[in-house]
Copies of this chain bind each other. A is one copy, B any other.
Amino acid sequence: MRLTALNTGLTITLGFLIAAYATSAFAFDEVEVEETVVVAEEGSEEIIEGEEVVEEEDAPPTLAEVSYAVDNVVLFIAAVLVLFMQAGFSMVEAGFNSSKNSVNIMFKNVMDVCVGVFLYWLIGYGLMYPGEGNGYFAFGGVGVSETLGSSPGAGVLHPQVDWLFQVAFAATAATIVSGAVAGRMKFGSYLVYSAVLTGLIYPVSGYWKWGGGWLDQMGFYDFAGSIVVHAVGGFAGLAGALVLGPRVGRYSSSGKPQAIPGHSLPLATLGVFILWIGWYGFNPGSQLAFTGQANTDATMLIAANTTLAAAVGGILATVLSWMFFKKPDLSMALNGVLAGLVGITANCDSVTNVEAMVIGAVAGVLVVLSILALDKLKIDDPVGAFPVHGVCGVWGGIATGIFGDYDLGVQVLGSVVIPAYAFVTMFILFMILKSAGVLRVSPEEEAKGLDITEHGMQAYSAG
């Protein structure tokens, strides 16, 4: 060990000196070349379209180009934040579930993104936003156009970043379901479900609103997806939970609920914080354009409203759990935060701060009540996916009509139709898988845990 010290010291010192001296002369010789390399990356527009535009090489960006850069780069950053939510979902769902099923649920989350990215590129995006170059099968071209059709400017989005932002939303809808069906659904069948949802079901109802379909034309409003994303995921999850039935032992033979506690609340807490952070991509990013005073102002209002709804949702769920259970319940608080976030998603650009807090408060109450209600109804939703995303998603859609100055009737309509569509189509899919005998693992496999039986590995190993 003494030699370590000596070696450390000598090697570091000698290494530095050799490197410094050996390179320095060489380095100075190349200085001129190096300079041109740095600048080189910037500005080759001269070869585009085969034209030679020699003078343009050093032309600085125009104001329209800078606006275009800001709008697209900010949407890109928002997309990254939404994709980060997948880490949050993984941790929440693994944390709230048994350790023996952790590998399985995280694997499902990972595949939701991987399969979702591929299929939403191939089909989903083109179905949801029909247009030139969007959708391989639907339009016979490449999946998503890799080049910008129109000339750049404020509010013009590059197709690639628009796709990236939208695929992150599709993956979110898919991943919500994994929590509701945790601990008993086969991995292979889950992949089928995931592919159908992100490739087909989600894009169709998404088109109804965001693609300019019939609900959009009726005036239905859903800013960032309380209905289009969260309620779709939540109601698809409910369908899965109903068709699968509860986990073995979740309700006693006399029908009494027996809690199966989550195996790691630290992971669940981390996951909720990550989801909260990711929501700053979800909601503010949905403004889609950020330059121009109206856009910038809206983005800032959205960010604050999102924060306030989350916080008040967390407070109300804590208070309510304290009243009901005599002790404040961390799981409820965490779900309350998520409930507030889901509730504000449809209307974060359309309400005042106070209204945002009222929406978050109601969501915080609803999530606790509906978790208790599911237990009464003996529906086993291990992470509360339906209460959080289903119930509070619908609340968000309706709240947009109450507070947001949109037609309440149309809001109720959209908030019923889209979730019902997701529920029915997914119910049918889950029933088909059930009939085929591939939906649920055997009771023996369930007892051993899906990690071992489905994947031959365990989440944790000693040593």
Contact = CB atoms under 8 A, between A and B. Distances in A.
A40 to B, nearest CB: 3
Interface string A1-22: 1111111111111011111100
B37 A263 contact: no
A20 B293 contact: no
Contacts of A251: none
A16 B114 CA distance: 17
Interface centre among A40, A86, A99, A456 (most CB of B within 10 A): A40
Nearest to A274: B87
Contact of A60 (B40, B64, B355, B361): B64
Given A11-B8, A67-B61, A353-B142, A123 B19 contact: yes
Given A4-B2, A42-B289, A118 B37 contact: no
Contacts of A261: 457-458, 461
Given A160-B304, A352-B146, A60 B69 contact: no
A200 B39 CA distance: 25
A72 B5 contact: no
Interface stretch (A311-319, A371-379, A383-391, A416-424): A311-319
A54 interface: no
A177 to B, nearest CB: 16
B289 A350 contact: no
A73 B262 CA distance: 38
B295 A457 contact: no
B65 A265 contact: no
A231 interface: no
A337 interface: yes
Contacts of A62: 63
Contacts of A191: 8
A255 interface: no
A76 B300 contact: yes
Nearest to A214: B30
A16 B106 contact: no
A27 B354 contact: yes
A69 B70 contact: yes
Contacts of A33: 212, 217
11 contacts: A1-B327, A9-B322, A11-B196, A30-B211, A41-B287, A68-B293, A76-B299, A103-B330, A142-B353, A146-B301, A330-B455
B304 A164 contact: yes
A228 interface: no
A430 interface: no
A99 B126 CA distance: 46
A8 to B, nearest CB: 5
A220 interface: no
A250 interface: no
A118 B315 contact: yes
Contacts of A79: 303
4 tightest CB-CB pairs across the interface, nearest first?
A40-B294, A5-B7, A27-B130, A87-B273
A19 B103 contact: no
Contacts of A70: 66, 69-70, 73
Contact of A265 (B40, B130, B457): B457
A101 to B, nearest CB: 9
A68 to B, nearest CB: 6
B438 A297 contact: no
B60 A4 contact: no
Contacts of A100: 463
A344 interface: no
A295 B12 contact: no
Interface string A311-353: 1101110111011011111110110010000000000011011
A215 interface: no
Contact of A298 (B8, B9, B40): B40
A51 interface: no
A63 B61 CA distance: 8
